[in-house]
Structure 1
């Protein structure tokens, strides 16, 4: 769990503060199963100012996953992309906000302390010394939600507001500066994972989903549709459909563990998104659908889902308008069509693929070094939280009701 030449990574951050690196300590941040795409470390950096006073900077270090996971996550592409997000794209968007008199535009991201793709500053290739160092938001009062329970209505609306700000900011930048967007941002968004799901993996996944769907009699007539739409996961990581003008940055993995919430007197007051390694260009509806169906309390979804979809759209339009761009093409009707396309094309299979790891109980997940794609359908079903089944049945039946499958 060492980080080679850590002082070089954080040197630009310390330079302006006249602080000197002294030492650091690390430990694993997350138990097995809470993150598969990287190794996450809690990092405490000890520094000293010019008067000899010492302090600790609390950080999180993101490093490469074990070698066998690097191919699945296309780490040579995705890690470089995330480094570029924090070191190039975020500052560029902040400057865009300043130009439009909108301060703190990228507030939904964590502050980057330092990052590199290689120990060789002249290299363009990701190696084992790649690291991203972010502020540890838990020391500022942020926390991760309970993935088995999901978010309540108030927290959900705050998350959607920040999500709309993220999507809307990139749309506005694209509209205002199309050439710069393509040359300086779009170049990072054409690739993410390059993984084509093997047939044996999909066979296992379909059988797993159908078996548990059959526990609800209303799902039984939908078994063939479950098969057909779950198998769309084969090409999920390679392409996606979207329509202009809605094309924007898509996080692609916005669920409970990839967002931190700050509360004051039990009221949510702030949200930060993390883990941007699989971001790409696509439909914002992908993030909205995946978040809502994977991470919001079922009671909220059953009564407020349509209102939440409308709320997100309103916030998206408000962000584009705030950044002084034309909103005439972003009607609610056009956005509903965007939702339908995303649901049919990617987000049903995405839910079916991710629901099992999302509902694997703590201690039940396979360690990163032992994980295989076929493990997406566990043989030991005792590792699944009981709430998995209600979530699964609701998603299947609601997608069918909306004619998305």
Structure 2
């Protein structure tokens, strides 16, 4: 394989070897290789993502995405990056194929199936982890602007797609309980973060809670989230929400959805970035997305309707796969979990909004020394947009009766 000398990006030899193997399986040998950055600063935080385009002498082409883990010591002391890649590999190589087989077995029409990005290969060696996937952009999928709130049509397709994905867990659990248990064994443990994460999250809490303008709202938020880290871990402990846990995407923020459009309307979407796939309440996915990727106005217009749409879609999909929603996830349980688990959205907003809404030049450096963490580390990230959005989250936590 020859490498395009016009690009400054040179992939490691072991990555090139993996790509060579993929191309060989596709009957593409001695192909050219063009490598470019697939994301801008601020779009991804645990590694580098490369777009790889290959062409052979017969005119055959192939487009791949290579996700390569950060190897920086300080990043790995804060985030379980190796576990992220292990879980994402498991999602693509085991969970997704199992769900695709279930849809085939139950004769779900192809146009109504949930589809996932094609997985090709990975490297799991510590500090060298990679995952190689198809490039969805070639098929017309694209990211939304992370600094904008979803509009109604984007929110609706995300809620419907989440419902379809969660429905497969409920059906697997009821129809094939041994398989479901085996499938979820690797993702049922609460993900352990490094010792530095507590410091980062507490600083984020102080910065974001300090943005709340109304003293009464601020006091109520402070009272309900005085032990922020205990709340964070409690929401993600699947023991607290049995027997209604499902396989959750786990990282449902705006940059982890890709959309395809037809005639200026959203025609389809696919989830990407499965590093934090976990067994948890389905509400954790909804809350994470709802309070990180929408604004106060959209929630005012669509919050209740979008929850109804989720449950209607869940019911439709569970029923057509031969199970009863009243047994898998009764409406009363759904409503109870909204009250108990939707406040996770405040945790998600605290952790994510400064990062999501900052300009790329102010995006955080994950290789920062733990000793350098201080109360001012979020100052550059917090914009007026972040201030407005977080105030909206705090208000809605109260107006929706969640805290």
Give 1:20 deviation, angstroms. 2.4
The CA distance in 2 between the partners of 1:144 and 1:373, in whole Å, is: 35
**Aligned counterpart in structure 2 of residue 296 of structure 1, from 272, 294, 297:** 294
The CA distance in 2 between the partners of 1:373 and 1:323, in whole Å, is: 53
Aligned to 1:381: 379
Shift in alpha-carbon separation, 1:397–1:297, aligned structure 2, 3 A? closer
Aligned to 1:87: 93
Greater shift, 377-386 or 166-175, is seen at 377-386
* 2:117 maps to 1:110: yes
The CA distance in 2 between the partners of 1:154 and 1:85, in whole Å, is: 27
The CA distance in 1 between the partners of 2:371 and 2:87, in whole Å, is: 23
Shift in alpha-carbon separation, 1:117–1:311, aligned structure 2, 3 A? same
Give 1:11 deviation, angstroms. 6.5
Structure 1 residues 268-295: Cα deviation after superposition (integer angstroms, max 9, x where no partner)? 0010111101111011100111111211
For residues 299-338 of structure 1, what are the structure 2 equivalents within 5 Å?
299-329=297-327, 330-338=329-337
Give 1:149 deviation, angstroms. 1.6
The CA distance in 1 between the partners of 2:21 and 2:274, in whole Å, is: 22
Aligned to 1:100: 106
Contact 2:354 2:381 in 1 (8 A): no
Aligned to 2:233: 235
The CA distance in 1 between the partners of 2:184 and 2:364, in whole Å, is: 35
Aligned to 1:404: 402
Structure 1 residues 292-347: Cα deviation after superposition (integer angstroms, max 9, x where no partner)? 12112432211221111111111112121121122223232220111222124x33
The CA distance in 2 between the partners of 1:258 and 1:364, in whole Å, is: 20
Aligned to 1:173: 172
The CA distance in 1 between the partners of 2:153 and 2:236, in whole Å, is: 35
The CA distance in 2 between the partners of 1:106 and 1:310, in whole Å, is: 21
Aligned to 1:121: none
* 2:13 maps to 1:4: yes
Aligned to 2:3: none
Contact 2:65 2:133 in 1 (8 A): yes
The CA distance in 1 between the partners of 2:369 and 2:398, in whole Å, is: 32
User: What TM-score do you get using the length of structure 1 for normalisation?
Assistant: 0.86
Shift in alpha-carbon separation, 1:90–1:352, aligned structure 2, 3 A? same
* 2:176 maps to 1:189: no
Give 1:199 deviation, angstroms. 5.2
Contact 2:201 2:351 in 1 (8 A): no
Aligned to 1:25: 34
Aligned to 1:138: 137
Shift in alpha-carbon separation, 1:45–1:369, aligned structure 2, 3 A? farther
Extract unaligned runs of 5+ from structure 2.
1-9
The CA distance in 2 between the partners of 1:355 and 1:93, in whole Å, is: 32
Give 1:28 deviation, angstroms. 2.3
The CA distance in 1 between the partners of 2:375 and 2:63, in whole Å, is: 37
Superposed CA RMSD in Å reads: 2.7
The CA distance in 1 between the partners of 2:380 and 2:78, in whole Å, is: 26
3-state SS, counterpart of residue 369 of structure 1: coil
* 2:58 maps to 1:53: yes
Shift in alpha-carbon separation, 1:17–1:136, aligned structure 2, 3 A? closer
Give 1:370 deviation, angstroms. 3.0
Shift in alpha-carbon separation, 1:308–1:152, aligned structure 2, 3 A? same
Greater shift, 166-175 or 269-278, is seen at 166-175
3-state SS, counterpart of residue 34 of structure 2: strand
Greater shift, 83-92 or 186-195, is seen at 186-195
Contact 2:82 2:129 in 1 (8 A): no
For residues 268-287 of structure 1, what are the structure 2 equivalents within 5 Å?
268-287=266-285
Shift in alpha-carbon separation, 1:265–1:218, aligned structure 2, 3 A? farther
* 2:40 maps to 1:36: no
